[in-house]
Amino acid sequence: MMGVQGQQQGRLFYLGVDINKRVRKDHPLRRVKEVIDFDFAYSEVKDCYGGNGNVSVPPPVIFKLMLLLIFYNVRSERELMSTLPERIDWLWFLGYDLDFQIPNHSVLSKARKKWGAEVFESFFERIVMQCIEAGLLDGRKIFIDSSLVDANASNNSVIDSKKLKHQLHKRYKTLEARLEEKSESVDPSRGYVKKNGRYISSTDPDAAIVNRGKAKLSYQVHRAVDGQKEIITATDVTPGDVNEAHLMLPLLKKHHETTGIKAEAVVADSKYGTIDNFLACHDVGIRAHIPDLRETAAKRTEKSGIFSEHRFEYDPKTDTYRCPGGNVLKPKSLHMDRQSRDYAAPKKTCAACQLRHQCTKNKSGRTIKRHLRQEDLDRMREASRSALAKQDIKTRQHLMERSFARSVRYGFDQARWRGLWRMRIQEYLVCAIQNIQVLIKHVFKPKRGIVTQPLATGTVSMASILSMVAAVGDFLHSLIKLNYVVNEA
């Protein structure tokens, strides 16, 4: 008989409602709650609060609210708070009851301002440590890459700071004050320099215009990922126009500080294959599995019909080069700023050379640049062409793309807030969540071969189907054999 729904009438009281029972056993938030101890927030932020005045929302609850915001990629804090009373699982996760007074959305922005990005960095580092304790991190081979993130500002907000019209405008004075504030907050030890200081967004001065097909205000996220289970071990955010190669060493340093494990090999794409990076890796004893930029440049030179530097043979005994024309290039000028020396043949020799059109377009003849630490560089470059390095470079592409693609689920590709330090908070939370996901997967891994679900009556398991197929096969085989024996007889 068909059931008919009566007129819906809300009950005045609900007795015996256990919010804990309403959240399923394998709910992801239940697992997060079991794995992560949010009480650490009390000790982390205790100095940010005074002894008197209004009682704040407990810091672990604020942390959980921020985590929900990113985990479910909720558009805004207002939306999070207005959705909260409708979500039993969120209420349970926060330790709230059904009729609990929901805090105002502003508690989150106030807490961010009060705590700063360091608290969130510390949270991220704690998760990395938990991953190490769970045996999910090897730490010896690190993959590095960066990705652009759209800033939370319109292109229309960009102004040319050199135009007098803008400088005379009232709004520019406020912007200038903010810029001064910003430059104080930028830590030069982080290893980056913003390229474009002329065009500035008046709504988010930390973001930079990046033109990759389409000009956009962007930030750049830099990550170091461990090869074993793809745990993010170090991360940083810079304005979008920063050269990512400058961030390689700071990331390696952060990886070491956070994990306590020294990387033995770093894997990155050709943009990181600079002389400085190769030599820095050499000095700290790290293998650089990075495609050599010089190789690409040499191929390009050969393609254009000019001899590449590979064609010039160096003789360490005489400290000279021998060119394809068989002439000697002797050391000339020394450039301390770029740590290199120029080698050249006499001007007259090059002028009279028959191979000149294949060697140089310069009227004074061909010059070869040699770095003062060329032997170390050559050794590092040689290692970057090994079979293992090539394999790592291949792996890197998919591994890093996966890491960034997973972050898109948490809204990583769009800045939620404005300002570099807020962007860092967003990135720490996204990376922490990604690592938590790996941790949960590992901790709650189903035990293999112990429990098998009993089959319902009338259903046939795959194993029994396979055994039936095997029995039929055996039967046919014996029939064929019998037929063969009869024919033989």
Binding positions for ligand SF4, rule: CB under 6 A? 323-325, 327, 345, 349-350, 353, 355-356, 359-360, 365-366
Closer residue to ligand SF4, CB minimum distance, 348 or 447: 348
Region of 242 (left: φ > 0; alpha: ψ -120 to 50; beta: rest) is: beta
Residue 281 or residue 323: which is nearer to ligand SF4 going by CB? Answer: 323
User: What 3-state DSSP class applies to 115?
Assistant: helix
Contact 207, 217 (CB under 8 A): yes
Least CB distance to ligand SF4 at residue 167 (A): 52
Measured from the CB of residue 375, what is the shortest distance to ligand SF4 in angstroms?
23
Q: How far apart are CB 368 and ligand SF4 at their closest, in Å?
A: 8
Q: Which is nearer to ligand SF4, 277 or 327 (CB)?
A: 327
Q: From residue 365, how far is each of 201, 304, 335, 357 by CA, in Å?
A: 47, 18, 19, 10
Q: Which residues on adjacent β-strands are paired with residue 239?
A: 219
Nearest alpha-carbon partner for 105 in 128, 73, 82: 82
- Find residue 254's DSSP bridge partners: none
How many Cβ atoms are within 10 Å of 115's Cβ, its own excluded? Answer: 20
**Residues 235, 124 contacting (CB under 8 angstroms):** yes
* 232-239 and 214-226 strand pairing: antiparallel
Among 258, 250, 369, CA closest to 266: 250
Residue closer to ligand SF4 (CB basis): 11 or 363? 363
- Closer residue to ligand SF4 in complex, CB, 366/416: 366
- Shortest distance, position 367 Cβ to ligand SF4, whole Å: 9
Kindly state the smallest distance separating residue 248's Cβ from ligand SF4, in Å: 35
Residue type, position 316, single letter: P
Residue 138 or 342 with smaller CB distance to ligand SF4: 342
Nearer to ligand SF4, 233 or 327 (CB): 327
Are the C-beta atoms of 277 and 266 separated by less than 8 Å?
A: no
- Minimum distance from CB of 323 to ligand SF4 (Å)? 3
Residues 6+ apart with CB under 8 A from 48: 114, 115
Nearest distance from residue 349's CB to ligand SF4, in Å?
5
3-class secondary structure, 275: helix
Compare residues 58 and 324 and give the one whose CB is closer to ligand SF4: 324
Least distance between ligand SF4 and beta carbon 355 (Å): 4
CA distance 89 to 54: 28
**Secondary structure class of 237 (helix, strand, coil):** strand
Return the axis-axis angle of helices 275-284 and 248-259, rounded to nearest 10°. 30
Fill in the DSSP letter of residue 456.
Answer: P
Least distance in angstroms from the C-beta of 307 to ligand SF4: 7
Minimum CB distance to ligand SF4 smaller for 326 or for 446: 326
3-state secondary structure 54-77: CCCCCHHHHHHHHHHHHHCCCCCH
